[in-house]
A and B are shown apart, each in its own frame.
Chain A
Amino acid sequence: MQVSLWGVSKTYTDGPRPTPALRPITLEIQSGEFVSLIGPSGCGKSTLLKIIADQTSPSNGEIRLDGAPPALARGQKRIAWMAQNPALLPWKTVIDNVRLPQLINRQARHNAPKPESLLSMVGLDDTAQAYPSTLSGGMQQRVALARTLATGAPLWLMDEPFAALDELTREQLTEEVLALWATFHPTVLWVTHNIIEAIRMADRVFVLSPGPGAIRATLSIHIPRPRDETSPEMVRILRELRRILREPWNDRA
């Protein structure tokens, strides 16, 4: 799915005075592209993702998802959403949690992969009948990942999905996401504050300024996956990204 934003900004007006969260953002993401959004906390990267997901509306600007506004794309069930909280339903078994998107969107039963096969893709086929409370945090996020795939949506919006997990589990899961991305070719927007994660995964990295965020740089990474972050090219990109993030941001607003 192609994602296009023109001058999208957000100012929260529900407080005692207006709080700008996001400066005008213009960007274009190609169908099947894996894009990372990185920036310091409070820069508005989650807000930007929520605007694209139609979880909140922008104050200004235009968004088109394959030419359609986000509300329409969401109504057509073409957006998959995954966040740090796995949001599993504790009264449903693992397999029933994965089935949920196809329970709500009957069409996905034909277009999207079967919940059983998704569960084995994330390595959990022997826990199908278990309840989420018996699983570790990493396994719960695996279930949430399988549920995201069960939507069959061509756009995955992922808001720091593994931020609460330990480093080892996190690395393993990001590898799995890349493998799944290679299988299903969705467009992925991956919000993170982890520099190495951003450059290991993405085709392009959008670097956001401190809040209210603006895009201060875009890095294109043409290195075949799986990527080794100790290789000279990766180290070069890593240094470049660190340099951009450390540079003081010239507030021109």
Chain B
Amino acid sequence: MTKNQGNARITVDQRINHLADSKDRLTIFIILGTGLAIWEIIVRLKQLPAYLLPAPTEIAQTLWVQRLYYARAAAITSLEALTGLAVGVGVGIAIATLITFWSSLEHGILALAILVKATPIVAIAPLLIIWLGFGPAPKIVITALMTFFPVLVNMHAGFHAVEPAVLELFHSLAASRWEVFTHARWPSSLPYLFAALRIVGPLSLIGAVVAEWAGASTGLGRAMWLAYTNLNIPALFAAVFCSATIGVLLSSLIAALERRVIFW
């Protein structure tokens, strides 16, 4: 096949992907719209009180009236979640790299990681607030604690997912362990990294919100907690809506990044 034919094939593939994407988007909007409409109709027909289940229009109104408050809370929570995510992903990759180079450490470090992972974060969140204060620090730590483990496990698998034939080739070239890592192990692990990111992306938001719930001066978790204690259910739903929107945006960002990075 010549280069031009190759390019032509890629363009056609992209067009098909694009069509599939816009079709998917349409389907999502129809399903979401139908769901919201049914919700609205039920609340109005049954005349449910707002403290049990507010109508979508009422939630939207709350969001609009207090848009600055929610925008600020969403920005703070997103920042905490993203920072914690970056730390968690970084630590996960670093530990996976460490035990790939020094495999004798593997069992000890994985046991320790499982111990940290198995600790209920909700239980130690208040403790971390006491230690680190009401600022962003404990949120970042909690988010990192929640996200590092799937990254570690996936990257560890990814670093060992190199084809035996490729390892034989590098062995025949007398490549150093570092050369094997940069030319073979690291690129081979990228699909595994994105598999992990698809899990820990939304998880990072939960981490930040749970941490704020345990004690914070701002953020969506704080907004939820305030709304809950005041039984202001429309405000609670408004904060939940914000958090869900950030989650969707984060997931699409990760998916877009994956398509760019893993092109082969």
What residues make up the interface of A, taking CB atoms closer than 8 Å to B?
Answer: 53-55, 74-77, 79-81, 83, 85, 87, 89-91, 100-101, 103-105, 126-127, 129-136, 151, 157
A193 to chain B, nearest CB (A): 19
B21 at the interface (CB under 8 A from A): no
Q: A74-B174, A131-B264, A135-B1 known; A103 and B9 CB under 8 Å?
A: no
Which chain B residues border A100 with CB–CB below 8 Å?
Answer: 173, 183
A84 to chain B, nearest CB (A): 8
Contact in complex: A130, B173 (CB < 8 Å): no
Interface string of B164-207 (1 = CB under 8 A from A): 01101111111100010001100100000000000000000000
Q: A87-B165, A89-B166, A90-B264 known; A55 and B171 CB under 8 Å?
A: yes
B163 at the interface (CB under 8 A from A): yes
What residues make up the interface of B, taking CB atoms closer than 8 Å to A?
Answer: 1-3, 6, 9, 163, 165-166, 168-175, 179, 183-184, 187, 263-264
Which chain A residues border B184 with CB–CB below 8 Å?
Answer: 89
Contact in complex: A80, B179 (CB < 8 Å): no
CA distance A99 to B72 in the complex (A): 51
Contact in complex: B168, A83 (CB < 8 Å): yes
A sample of 15 cross-chain residue pairs with beta-carbon separation below 8 angstroms, ordered by A number, consists of A55-B168, A76-B174, A79-B172, A81-B168, A85-B163, A89-B184, A89-B187, A104-B175, A104-B179, A105-B173, A126-B2, A129-B3, A131-B264, A134-B1, A136-B1
Contact in complex: B168, A75 (CB < 8 Å): no
A88 to chain B, nearest CB (A): 9
Which chain A residues border B165 with CB–CB below 8 Å?
Answer: 83, 85, 87
Contact in complex: B9, A81 (CB < 8 Å): no
Which chain A residues border B171 with CB–CB below 8 Å?
Answer: 54-55, 74
Cross-interface CB contact of B9 among A126, A134, A135, cutoff 8 Å: A134
A118 to chain B, nearest CB (A): 16
Q: A81-B168, A127-B3, A135-B1 known; A91 and B187 CB under 8 Å?
A: yes
Cross-interface CB contact of A134 among B6, B166, B168, B173, cutoff 8 Å: B6
Considering the complex, give the chain A residue whose CB is closest to the CB of B168: A55
CA distance A105 to B263 in the complex (A): 28
CA distance A15 to B166 in the complex (A): 25
Q: A104-B179, A130-B6, A131-B264 known; A81 and B169 CB under 8 Å?
A: yes
SS of B interface (majority): helix
B80 to chain A, nearest CB (A): 34
A103 to chain B, nearest CB (A): 7
Q: A105-B174, A130-B6, A133-B264 known; A87 and B183 CB under 8 Å?
A: no
Which chain A residues border B9 with CB–CB below 8 Å?
Answer: 134
Contact in complex: B166, A151 (CB < 8 Å): no
CA distance A224 to B94 in the complex (A): 59
Considering the complex, give the chain A residue whose CB is closest to the CB of B261: A91
CA distance A132 to B263 in the complex (A): 12
Considering the complex, give the chain B residue whose CB is closest to the CB of A85: B165
Which chain B residues border A132 with CB–CB below 8 Å?
Answer: 264
Which chain B residues border A74 with CB–CB below 8 Å?
Answer: 171-172, 174
Which chain A residues border B163 with CB–CB below 8 Å?
Answer: 85, 87
Contact in complex: A81, B172 (CB < 8 Å): yes
Q: A74-B171, A103-B183, A104-B173 are in contact. List 20 more A-B contacts (CB 8 A).
A: A53-B172, A55-B168, A74-B172, A77-B174, A79-B172, A80-B172, A83-B165, A85-B163, A87-B165, A91-B263, A100-B183, A101-B173, A127-B1, A127-B2, A129-B3, A130-B1, A130-B6, A131-B263, A134-B6, A134-B9
Which chain B residues border A76 with CB–CB below 8 Å?
Answer: 174
Considering the complex, give the chain B residue whose CB is closest to the CB of A78: B174
CA distance A74 to B172 in the complex (A): 6
Cross-interface CB contact of A89 among B173, B174, B179, B183, cutoff 8 Å: B183
Considering the complex, give the chain A residue whose CB is closest to the CB of B167: A87
Which chain A residues border B175 with CB–CB below 8 Å?
Answer: 104
Contact in complex: B172, A55 (CB < 8 Å): yes
CA distance A134 to B8 in the complex (A): 12
CA distance A81 to B164 in the complex (A): 14
Considering the complex, give the chain B residue whose CB is closest to the CB of A88: B166
B167 to chain A, nearest CB (A): 9
Which chain B residues border A83 with CB–CB below 8 Å?
Answer: 165, 168
CA distance A127 to B4 in the complex (A): 10
A-B pairs with the 9 shortest C-beta distances?
A81-B172, A85-B165, A87-B165, A90-B264, A87-B169, A91-B187, A87-B166, A134-B6, A104-B175
Which chain B residues border A151 with CB–CB below 8 Å?
Answer: 173
B13 to chain A, nearest CB (A): 11
